[in-house]
Amino acid sequence: MEMLSHDILIVGGGGAGLRAAIAVAEIDPSLNVAVVSKVYPMRSHTVSAEGGAAAVIGPDDSLDDHAYDTISGGDWLPDQDAVEAFVKEAPRELLQMEHWGCPWSRQPDGSVAVRSFGGMKIERTWFASDKTGFHMLHTLFQTSLKYDPIQRYDEWFVTKLLVDDGRCQGVVAIDLATGKVHGIRAKAVIVCTGGCGKVFPFTTNANIKNGDGMALAYRAGVPLKDMEFVQYHPTGLPFTGILITEATRSEGGHLLNKDGYRYLQDYDLGTPEPQPVLRSMELGPRDRLSQAFVKEQEKGRTLQGPYGDYVNLDIRHLGEKIINSKLPFVRELCLKYENIDPVKELIPVRPVVHYMMGGIHTDILGATPLEGLFAAGEVACVSINGANRLGSNSLTELLVFGARVGRAAAEYASRQKGNGAAVAAQAAEEVERIERQYLSGGGKGDKMVDIRQGMHAAMESGAGIYRSKASLQKSAQEISNLQDRIPGIRLDDSSQTFNTELVAAIELSYMLDVAEAIIASASQRTESRGSHQRTDYPDRDDNDFLAHSLAVRKPGAAPTIEYLPVTITRWPPGERVYGR
């Protein structure tokens, strides 16, 4: 079959993918780089990030402080060499965004303003009011347009990585507008497809967050690392799961139970003060706050609504002026989607699946164990986030590691010659597989919605904020049963033109593979650390589990789990202390 060809192919056009593309174009304009994205790049989920991006800027701050906050926030699971590189390169990357036109909020004298954020002991979060991800994504996308070597395949959906001779050499992708399936050769492939929040029923994540890149790599034999670490953000709107940014709390918002009591004081997070205190109470880390909600729920001190239990977030005392200037999007979202005005009313919130700490196993440059395959952003696990990511580290991460992976892939690609004939045959096989499996009408009649809801139920009941051996075993069985039903899915739509049902079916198969890895990794980790809380193993166990899990796919069976020691440089494992 006829193959398209590029030097470097980037899968995913969100923040990490665009930053990587620009890095490639800047380091070597002779390289032919293309971005394949299943949505137009400015639709990517980076757009939804609200609060900000962390990097040391003030004279009272230090790289070591940012590193310590990140490492303790991650419950000592982050690799400290990666964290040190991250905090060191972070200020330069955010400054680069400033030069590219990102509308950072400013101090009266015109310098960049920063705000406090959960788990950070010094104010170092750069922000563009409360639409930081939106402004970063549009700035990156618009800036990327000035680089001629960057080509795009907008609304192309990748179904397979092409691997031959131990090297990743391209992808197979569907051009959604025409339905035509293409093979694309590349000397290096960079996966930047984001996370997989949609494996859970209640999530802040957009419809496009299906773990595509994780599953593509997993199927190509690349381990998924630390997949048991799923971040619940403590403040999502009930029903929709719309995120209410942590910036509400850094500006001084309070979390209240049904008695109007700031309940976090009962969970070793400090004592309530009228003004926000860094690394304390509402500015504690997300994992601890979400866990406190569950404990409060067990005590019967949450409120009951039509979409489950909730607590209240109170920002009324900030006043209309601060809310309008610092949190305008929060007000807009509350007014439009909950019909409440946070200037006068309490905001109902509950924990909501938000972010994957785990992902494709990469080294500090973004290279995976599969030669020619790279990854960055939420899809990857370097790891700087460990067992719990701090708010405002992820936007910075996609810049720092997007740039790093672009440079590493450029260096790698410039050393490669063309690729072999075998990938064309593989691509032809994939075209045939898609036709046979999804479009030939051979399904036995399973509706996708049933499988998707089954997956959601299994993940929420078995692999949520608290897990146990029994709950995980049950969910593992359910996910395995659902995987068996994938070949029998019945599609109504056999059209070539923009077949969104076909895309959704393949995404569902991706999500089940990712769900399998999450559950297997959580089952094997018989300790509690950060966001991974086992009711049957409530303590952290540094003897056995100061290590990253690596889930390796075994088709037709549960994945095997291996472990890789955490890299410790200067911060020996200690107690996570907040509010005291």
Task: State the minimum distance, in angstroms, from the CB of residue 562 to another protein.
Answer: 33
Nearest to 553 by CA among 521, 522, 525: 521
Residue 4, beta-bridge partner list? 184
Please tell me which residue in 233, 452, 525, 548 is annotated as part of the active site: 233
Strands 224-225 and 380-381: unpaired
Which one of 29, 106, 420, 488 is in contact with another protein (CB under 8 A)?
106
State which amino acid sits at residue 188. Answer: A
Three-class DSSP category at 136 = helix
Q: Which is nearer to another protein, 323 or 427 (CB)?
A: 323
Three-class DSSP category at 408 = helix
Three-class DSSP category at 85 = helix
Task: State the minimum distance, in angstroms, from the CB of residue 578 to another protein.
Answer: 29
Q: Check binding of 572 to another protein (CB under 8 A).
A: no
**Cα 556 to chain center, whole Å?**
27
CB neighbours (10 Å) of residue 415? Answer: 8
Q: Check binding of 477 to another protein (CB under 8 A).
A: no
Q: Check binding of 242 to another protein (CB under 8 A).
A: yes
CB neighbours (10 Å) of residue 146? Answer: 10
| 1-9, 37-45, 226-234, 368-376 -> range binding another protein (CB under 8 A) | 37-45
Q: Are 186 and 6 in contact (CB under 8 A)?
A: yes
| 1-9, 234-242, 288-296, 513-521 -> range binding another protein (CB under 8 A) | 234-242
Q: Are 284 and 579 in contact (CB under 8 A)?
A: yes
Q: Check binding of 138 to another protein (CB under 8 A).
A: yes
- Is 249 designated active site? yes
Q: Which is nearer to another protein, 206 or 364 (CB)?
A: 206
Task: State the minimum distance, in angstroms, from the CB of residue 254 to another protein.
Answer: 24
Which one of 1, 111, 429, 477 is in contact with another protein (CB under 8 A)?
111
Q: Check binding of 492 to another protein (CB under 8 A).
A: yes
Q: How far apart are CA 406 and CA 397, in angstroms?
A: 13
Under rule CB under 8 A, which residues in 188-207 are in contact with another protein?
201-207
Q: How far apart are CA 230 and CA 549, in angstroms?
A: 14
Three-class DSSP category at 490 = coil
Which one of 240, 416, 461, 480 is in contact with another protein (CB under 8 A)?
240
Task: State the minimum distance, in angstroms, from the CB of residue 75 to another protein.
Answer: 27
Q: What is the CA radius of gyration of the chain?
A: 23
Q: Check binding of 352 to another protein (CB under 8 A).
A: yes
Q: Report the half-sphere exposure of 305 (CA within 13 A, side-chain side).
A: 17
Three-class DSSP category at 382 = coil
Q: Report the half-sphere exposure of 391 (CA within 13 A, side-chain side).
A: 38
Residue corresponding to tokens 């400054």: 95
**Cα 189 to chain center, whole Å?**
19
Q: Check binding of 491 to another protein (CB under 8 A).
A: yes
Q: Check binding of 497 to another protein (CB under 8 A).
A: yes
Task: State the minimum distance, in angstroms, from the CB of residue 212 to another protein.
Answer: 13
Q: How far apart are CA 103 and CA 181, in angstroms?
A: 39
Under rule CB under 8 A, which residues in 256-285 are in contact with another protein?
none
Q: What is the DSSP letter of 336?
A: I
Which one of 43, 254, 288, 404 is in contact with another protein (CB under 8 A)?
43
Q: Check binding of 233 to another protein (CB under 8 A).
A: no
Task: State the minimum distance, in angstroms, from the CB of residue 97 to another protein.
Answer: 10
Under rule CB under 8 A, which residues in 63-92 are in contact with another protein?
92
| 372-380, 426-434, 486-494, 514-522 -> range binding another protein (CB under 8 A) | 486-494
Q: Check binding of 348 to another protein (CB under 8 A).
A: no
Peptide bond into 392 cis (omega under 30): no
Q: Check binding of 407 to another protein (CB under 8 A).
A: no
Q: Check binding of 47 to another protein (CB under 8 A).
A: yes
Binding flags for another protein, 294-313, as an x/- string (CB under 8 A): ------------xx------
Which one of 125, 143, 210, 362 is in contact with another protein (CB under 8 A)?
143
Task: State the minimum distance, in angstroms, from the CB of residue 498 to another protein.
Answer: 5
Q: Check binding of 60 to another protein (CB under 8 A).
A: no
Q: Which is nearer to another protein, 337 or 560 (CB)?
A: 337
- Tell me, letter by letter, the H, E, C secondary structure of 155-178: CEEEEEEEEECCEEEEEEEEECCC
Q: What is the DSSP letter of 384?
A: S
| 59-67, 364-372, 449-457, 466-474 -> range binding another protein (CB under 8 A) | 449-457
Q: Check binding of 448 to another protein (CB under 8 A).
A: yes
Q: Check binding of 156 to another protein (CB under 8 A).
A: no
Q: What are phi and psi of 549, to 5 degrees?
A: -85, 145
Q: Which is nearer to another protein, 271 or 500 (CB)?
A: 500
Q: Are 442 and 180 in contact (CB under 8 A)?
A: no
Q: How far apart are CA 151 and CA 144, in angstroms?
A: 10
Q: Check binding of 346 to another protein (CB under 8 A).
A: no
Please tell me which residue in 138, 185, 249, 467 is annotated as part of the active site: 249
Q: Which two tokens stand for residue 201?
A: 């029923």
Sort residue 165 into left (φ over 0), alpha (ψ -120 to 50) or beta.
left
Q: How far apart are CA 438 and CA 274, in angstroms?
A: 58
User: Where do the DSSP E strands lie in 382-469?
Assistant: 466-467
Q: How far apart are CA 26 and CA 149, in angstroms?
A: 9
- Max Cα separation, the chain? 69
CB neighbours (10 Å) of residue 212? Answer: 26
| 99-107, 221-229, 245-253, 559-567 -> range binding another protein (CB under 8 A) | 99-107
Q: Which is nearer to another protein, 452 or 548 (CB)?
A: 452
Which one of 473, 477, 495, 560 is in contact with another protein (CB under 8 A)?
495
Q: Check binding of 554 to another protein (CB under 8 A).
A: no
Q: Which two tokens stand for residue 147?
A: 């680089």
Task: State the minimum distance, in angstroms, from the CB of residue 105 to another protein.
Answer: 7
- Is 233 designated active site? yes
Count of residues interacting with another protein (CB under 8 A): 70
Q: What is the binding site for another protein (CB under 8 A)?
A: 39-40, 42-45, 47-48, 92, 95-96, 98-101, 103, 105-106, 108-112, 131, 134-135, 138, 142-143, 145-146, 154, 177, 201-208, 239-243, 306-307, 329, 332-333, 336-337, 352, 447-449, 452-453, 456, 491-493, 495-501
Please give the positions annotated as active site: 233, 249
